[in-house]
Each structure stands twice: as structure tokens, then as C-alpha cells.
């Protein structure tokens, strides 16, 4: 076992542990920060595997953009920052499903390959990867960018109660407005007005 193998296993363990903390924490903001750690460990795995371009794209796109978008959406929608009762569900069903799926995939892969060695293709270059991304996959990237933009605009609209109301006033009236006094109606002996 070489040093690269040890580093790959260590970064993989960090990624799996951080991924478990993403789904296991009751704090939404902490889940986003653990997602940064998980995606950063995956970028480190890519660096160990000599895929530098993929590693830096992982850092720029996922860590730099998607996680920041997630945290901005949490802040803009006024989601609870502390522990949330909505996130405090029993975890054993999900753990059972995840463990069963992982075990099933491991058995499937061991059965399919029977520990045979597979010859790897020649290492790709940034030029070949760029050709594939910007020729074959440009439309899905553009659709994803429009989807993320729509999610951000939706978060802003949901967080601002004055958008879309007549006169631009929030539901309770303008900030600092005092509600006018209600007329007092005398009631008779039966309690009716």
C-alpha cells in the first residue's frame, strides 16, 4: 500500500464521515458547513488521483457556488438557524436503508468483477475534458444554471412579504404602523352586541 493509497483512504473516510454528519445534524447551517468538508475531501481525492481540473471544478462549482447558494437560501428564507424539531426524526429507518443499499452494491460489484484487474485508459487531459464538457454537455450545464438562478429568485420572493402585494406593503401594514382603535360596542345582558 502506497502513500497515495493511504491518503485516498483517509480523504474517503473524511468524506464519508462528513456526509454522515450532513444528514445526521439537527442544525441546518451546520449541515451546509459539513457539506463543504465532504465536498472538499472529494476534491482532495480527485487531486490524489491526478485529476487536477476535476478537483478545482469541484471546489469552484460545488464548494464555492452551490454551498454558498444553499446557505444564502437558508438565510433569505428565514429558516431556523438553531436545532430544528423538523430535522429531529428517527434515523434508524434511513440508516437501515443506507446500510442495506451499500451492502447490496458491494455484493453486486464483488460478484460482477470477482476481484479481476481492469486496465485503465490513458489519463485524460484538460483539453479533452473541456471538449467533452463544452461540446456534449453544454446544454445540461446551462439548464442547471437557470434552475439555480430560479431557486435564488424564489428564495428572495419567499423571504420578502411585500413583493407581490398591492401598494408594496407587508401583510401587517407598513413597518411601525399603529393599528387604529376598534369601536367599542355595548353588549346587552345576554352578552350580545
Q: Please name the helix (run of DSSP H) or strand (run of DSSP E) that holds residue 110, with its range, or none.
A: helix 92-113
Are 49 and 8 a contacting pair, CB within 8 Å? yes
Q: What is the pLDDT of residues 162-184, one digit of tens each?
A: 666 666 555 555 555 555 566 66
Q: Which residue has the higher pLDDT, 50 or 188?
A: 50
**Architecture of the 3-84 domain:** Up-down Bundle (1.20)
Grid cell locating 41 = 475531501
How far is Cα 10 from Cα 50, in angstroms, rounded to an integer? 16
DSSP, collapsed to helix, strand or coil, labels residue 119 as coil
The answer to whether 17 and 33 are in contact (CB under 8 A) is: no
Count of Cβ atoms closer than 10 Å to residue 124 Cβ: 13
CA 54 – CA 60 distance, rounded (Å): 10
Q: What's the first-to-final CA gap in the chain, in angstroms?
A: 88
Task: State whether residue 107 is helix, strand or coil.
Answer: helix
Q: Provide CB contacts within 8 A for 94, sequence distance 6+.
A: 23
Q: Beta partners for 83?
A: 27
pLDDT tens digit string along 1-54?
A: 888 889 999 999 999 999 989 888 877 788 888 989 999 999 999 999 888 888
pLDDT of 28 reads 77
Assign 57 a pLDDT band (cuts: 50, 70, 90): confident
Total-model pTM: 0.57
For 58-76, write each residue's pLDDT tens digit. Answer: 888 888 877 777 777 777 7
Other Cβ atoms less than 10 A from the Cβ of 182: the count is 6
Helix pair angle (28-48, 3-24), 10° resolution: 160
pLDDT in tens, 115-155: 777 777 677 777 877 787 788 888 888 888 898 888 878 87
Residue 16 has what pLDDT?
93
Amino acid at each position: 500500500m502506497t502513500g497515495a493509497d493511504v491518503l485516498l483512504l483517509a480523504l474517503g473516510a473524511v468524506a464519508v464521515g462528513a456526509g454522515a454528519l450532513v444528514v445526521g445534524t439537527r442544525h441546518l447551517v451546520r449541515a451546509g458547513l459539513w457539506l463543504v468538508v465532504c465536498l472538499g475531501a472529494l476534491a482532495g481525492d480527485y487531486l490524489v488521483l491526478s485529476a487536477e481540473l476535476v478537483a478545482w471544478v469541484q471546489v469552484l462549482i460545488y464548494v464555492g457556488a452551490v454551498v454558498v447558494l444553499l446557505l444564502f437560501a437558508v438565510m433569505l428564507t428565514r429558516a431556523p438557524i438553531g436545532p430544528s424539531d423538523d430535522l429531529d426524526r428517527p434515523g434508524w429507518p434511513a440508516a437501515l436503508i443506507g446500510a442495506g443499499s451499500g451492502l447490496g452494491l458491494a455484493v453486486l460489484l464483488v460478484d460482477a468483477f470477482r476481484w479481476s484487474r481492469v486496465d485503465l485508459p490513458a489519463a485524460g487531459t484538460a483539453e479533452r475534458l473541456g471538449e467533452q464538457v463544452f461540446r456534449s454537455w453544454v446544454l445540461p450545464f446551462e439548464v442547471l444554471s437557470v434552475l439555480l438562478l430560479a431557486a435564488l429568485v424564489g428564495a428572495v420572493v419567499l423571504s420578502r412579504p411585500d413583493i407581490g402585494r398591492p401598494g408594496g406593503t407587508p401583510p401587517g401594514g407598513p413597518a411601525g404602523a399603529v393599528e387604529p382603535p376598534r369601536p367599542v360596542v355595548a353588549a346587552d345582558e345576554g352578552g350580545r352586541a
